[in-house]
Chains A and B, each alone.
Chain A
Amino acid sequence: METFIGKPIKRREDARFLKGAGKYTDDIKLMGMTHSAFVRSPYAHAKILSIDTAAAEKAEGVVAVYTGSDACGTFGVPCGWQVDFKNGETMREPLHPLLAKDKILHVGEAVAIVIAETLELARDAAELVQVSYEALPAVTCPKKAMEAGAPKVHDQWEDNAAFDWCIGNDRTEVEAALESAHHVTEMTYKNHRLAPNAIEPRSYISDYDVNADKWTLYTSTQNPHLIRLLLCAFVLGIPEHKVRVLSYDVGGGFGSKIYHYTEEALLTWVSKEIGRPVKWTSDRTEAFLTDAHGRDHIVHSKMGFDEDGKIVAHLTDEYCAMGAYLSTFAPAVPTYLHGTLFQGVYTTPLIHLNVVAPFTHTVAVDAYRGAGRPEATYLLERIISKAAKEMDIDPAELRYKNFIPPFNGTSEPGFQTQVALQYDSGNYHGVLKRGLEMLGYEDFRKEQAEARKNGKLIGVGISTYIEGCGIAPSAVVGSLGARAGLYEVGHVRVQPTGKVSVFTGAHSHGQGHETVFAQFVADKLGIHMDDVDIVHGDTDQVAFGMGTYGSRSLAVGGSAIIKSVEKVLEKGAKIAAHKLEAAESDLEYAEGKWTVKGTDKSISFGDVSLTAYVPHDYPEGVEPGLDFSSFYDPTNFTYPFGTHIAVVEVDPDTGKVDLQRFVACDDVGNVMNPMIVDGQIHGGVVQGVGQALLEEVIYDGEGQMVTGSYMDYAMPRADDVPNIETDRTTTPCPHNPLGVKGAGEAGAIGSTPAVVNAVVDALSHLGVTDIQMPVTPKRVWKAMQTQA
């Protein structure tokens, strides 16, 4: 019988995408649909003196114009995570209004919305809205935001801090260990701001049906149920059962489409006001100005070592920007998704991280692929490589010295970190060994020595990362400030014919759930995957869900589906036992049928399914039907890990970095579809490489974004990167039924420091010890000149 788990099954999603028949939100047209355009602030910080909409209201094709003075102006979108100050003061949480009324807090903040018959007419009329501003000084750097006299983002509080936070061992103990350490390596740098840049811009259509008193919201989200909950219960105060959220095909998310955005709520409000459907699709500059960004940490760190190169202590202070308002997950990113990974893959006995999270006159910062974990990995992997150079130890050797020894999490216990988490299972030696083999590390070092004699600058950089994925369990995240649970829902509906519909609260926006989820459901039920359909992205069809982010779909969502599959088989066995006139305990289930052990008496899954719906000859006390829904709340996060190695050549004349090779050996636990896992790694790696070499959101001193288009913001193009060489080790997750850990973010988490380590390695003999990311030709060339 054909099985599917572990095979590179081609994706069933692909045909529609390849034919141009995907159904993205902007592709949808409704009868009577109107279009909208926003009037957005050109200032980062300003008072709104007046707004004149008269000309716009009279313009051709205009249906309505709304500003913050209308009823929608009283609503604001909430934050989903509360991190209070260390001294107990409650997190400062400003109202994030749907339309700014009195004050502008970042460039691109919406002031008015114009609704018209066509997009062109809406945009024409938006230009007729006259807004008078009084510009005020702005602050965009999180460190400067905390300096005395910095422009205040929110007037009601004494300074710009949204909260502060710390984790790990007692600070004085860590400081004392650093004092007495044999060697201390120190780093100060910026983990700079990035724009996620899903290629599909955000798009929403809201459609209010006056007769049914119901809304349908079509939205490009990673998170349909959470959007509905936030929209209904926390923004507009409308009944949740009156809103259907539909998220069909979504063109990439990378975190930026997790959050509940002001435009979603505003369109929902507008569609009832005007009694017609209304669409808004972001343009690319609006996306740069209004999609939540990632990273933006200012970091100062010290790591202490003993004479054998063992890490004795690690102390870090960070300023982490929140932006003007608190986005849905924002407070969790530089704290619980960041500080909890400061153990890395090392036995460091003393760790302390202190975070100050200020408001800035910028768009919000929130989770972007990896969310807090790339920032932790960058720090650990750069500082350990820098320390290796300073102590003249090979960077691979220094890592081996400090690795947590292998443990499987079953016969050997999980590893308890100094920063709250307990790792599930790991073999960090294994991935580094394999990564070095794939690269040919020793040969490379010889080649490098030769090359240097000829003035050629080549370098190798290693990164050995760990990440916390499968975000949940609810009790843990709740104690850490999450305002929602982080379980997942999996519903398995066996149809009378034995065909299976699976409803998942996870959401696919490129990950291939429709294929992968069908693979494991088919194997567990012993049926063909063509007989399994996966439904997601519709709150009317799927009972509930927490969406897709944090590499959680398979580990959490997949486990919920497995729970329901088990319930199906349990009930199926009762029906089978009745039909076979045998005891349940005498049955075994394999290859899609129940068989009385040791006999040829059997009944197929299809026959049992039909019996469940046509229960003429049926076990007593058993309900008809074969339809189960389950909530799965895991007992722990999952902890994928791996080794990434980059090889670069630096042009000595221009400082341009050429990424020549990239080797990734990842361990994501059991693998359902290796083709898809490799694809996730490739894409993640290139996003991480983008941060290292090319990408940066830059705001100038007045808070203007100077990188607001693809002419100014450098994303990796095909000729910027090489093929990615991948391999895997497999250390199953001990606490979920599929043994999976998650692969969505690994690439972006591991790759960035590998690239920067390689660049510094290429230049180390010239005395270069660090270069600020992105390592542009200008920065590299300057570093070379300064040292020479």
Chain B
Amino acid sequence: MQISMTINGKEYSHDIEPRISLAQYLRENLNLTGTHIGCDTSGCGACTVTVDGAAAKACTLLAVQVDGSEITTIEGMANGNEMHPIQEAFKENHGLQCGFCTPGMVMTAADILKNNPNPTDEEIRHGLEGNFCRCTGYHNIVKSIQHAAEKINA
């Protein structure tokens, strides 16, 4: 099937099999390998991207389902070498270790802060419940998102 979408501000058009997930499409067709696949079942959240402004798990969306959408992936967060405040906050607060869940965490964090610019720790933890991290115990991820909120609101 022919699909076209805007990804990180750029137009793409491909003829792909209907069974290809958005995550596979991003990784295999566009070489946007920052979107990671940790489970295939929406369980781990490593593949989180935004579709028309809302966080979505790219492993359980078919690429054809989001035909015509605007997608942002982790590669679209930084402005050249200037990292997004959320990315900066993760670095400053050691909000990542192995880095595999990190793209999904950053994209989910963006979604949390978009909907709630001043979240409590509890609201952040609730917002992160679709994303697994096996390294950090979440402590520094929560701290990073609080710090990012302060930066963005400043």
Contacts and interface: CB of A to CB of B under 8 A. Distances in A.
Partners in one complex: yes
Interface of A: 8, 10-11, 13-22, 24, 26-27, 29, 119-120, 197-201, 249-252, 254, 283-284, 509-512, 675-676, 678-679, 682-687, 709-711, 715-719, 721, 723-724, 747
Given A252-B98, A717-B128, A683 B137 contact: yes
Contacts of B31: 29
Contacts of A687: 134, 137
B22 to A, nearest CB: 15
A19 B125 contact: no
A472 B117 CA distance: 50
Interface string B120-149: 011011101101111111111110000000
A40 to B, nearest CB: 16
B40 A19 contact: no
A545 B96 CA distance: 26
Contact of B138 (A20, A29, A686): A686
13 contacts: A18-B102, A19-B77, A22-B100, A24-B36, A200-B38, A510-B99, A679-B94, A679-B140, A687-B137, A710-B41, A710-B132, A717-B131, A718-B128
B43 interface: yes
B41 A197 contact: no
Contacts of A716: 137-138
Interface string B13-38: 00001011000100100011111111
**Which of B33, B35, B139 lies at the interface centre, i.e. has the most chain A CB atoms within 10 A of its CB?**
B139
Nearest to B78: A19
A10 B92 contact: yes
B36 A14 contact: no
B1 to A, nearest CB: 15
B99 A284 contact: no
A199 B38 contact: yes
B118 to A, nearest CB: 18
B139 to A, nearest CB: 4
B43 A709 contact: yes
B101 interface: yes
A15 B94 contact: no
Given A686-B137, A724-B137, A284 B40 contact: yes
Q: Is the interface of B mostly helix, strand, loop or mixed?
A: loop
A512 B74 contact: no
Contacts of B34: 19-22
Contact of B131 (A251, A675, A682, A718): A718
B139 A724 contact: yes
Contact of B135 (A119, A252, A675): A252
A22 B102 CA distance: 10
Nearest to A724: B139
A284 B39 contact: yes
A11 B94 contact: yes
Contacts of A119: 24
B98 A20 contact: no
Contact of B32 (A20, A26, A679): A20
Contacts of A509: 98
**Which of A17, A284, A679 lies at the interface centre, i.e. has the most chain B CB atoms within 10 A of its CB?**
A17
A721 B126 CA distance: 11
Given A250-B98, A715-B134, A723 B139 contact: yes
A605 B23 CA distance: 50
Contacts of B102: 17-18
Contact of B96 (A14, A201, A747): A14
Contacts of A17: 96, 99, 102
Contacts of A16: 99
A21 B75 CA distance: 8
A17 B91 CA distance: 10
B72 to A, nearest CB: 11
Interface residues of B, number: 58
Given A199-B133, A709-B41, A719-B125, A14 B91 contact: yes
A27 B33 contact: yes
Contact of A15 (B17, B20, B91): B91
Nearest to A20: B34
B134 A717 contact: no
A280 to B, nearest CB: 14
A16 B17 CA distance: 31
B137 A199 contact: no
B44 interface: yes
A29 B28 CA distance: 9
B40 A679 contact: no
B50 interface: no
A39 B91 CA distance: 41
A675 B96 CA distance: 11
Nearest to B124: A718
B97 interface: yes
B134 A18 contact: no
A123 to B, nearest CB: 10
B152 interface: no
B97 to A, nearest CB: 4
List of 7 A-B pairs having minimum Cβ-Cβ separation, nearest first: A20-B34, A710-B43, A251-B100, A17-B99, A510-B98, A686-B137, A20-B74
Contact of A683 (B41, B43, B134): B134
Given A14-B90, A20-B32, A199-B44, A683 B135 contact: yes
Contacts of B101: 199, 251
Contacts of B43: 284, 709-711
Contacts of A511: 97
A335 to B, nearest CB: 27
Given A15-B91, A200-B36, A711-B43, A717 B132 contact: yes
A66 to B, nearest CB: 24
A711 B41 contact: yes
Given A18-B87, A19-B74, A27-B33, A682 B98 contact: no
Contacts of A721: 137-138
A24 B103 CA distance: 13
A250 B74 CA distance: 18
B106 interface: yes
A709 B59 CA distance: 15
Contacts of A283: 39-40
A11 B97 CA distance: 9
Given A13-B99, A18-B106, A719 B132 contact: no
A120 B134 contact: no
Contacts of A715: 132, 134
B71 interface: no
B142 A723 contact: yes
B91 A20 contact: no
Nearest to B126: A719
A592 to B, nearest CB: 28
B41 A10 contact: no
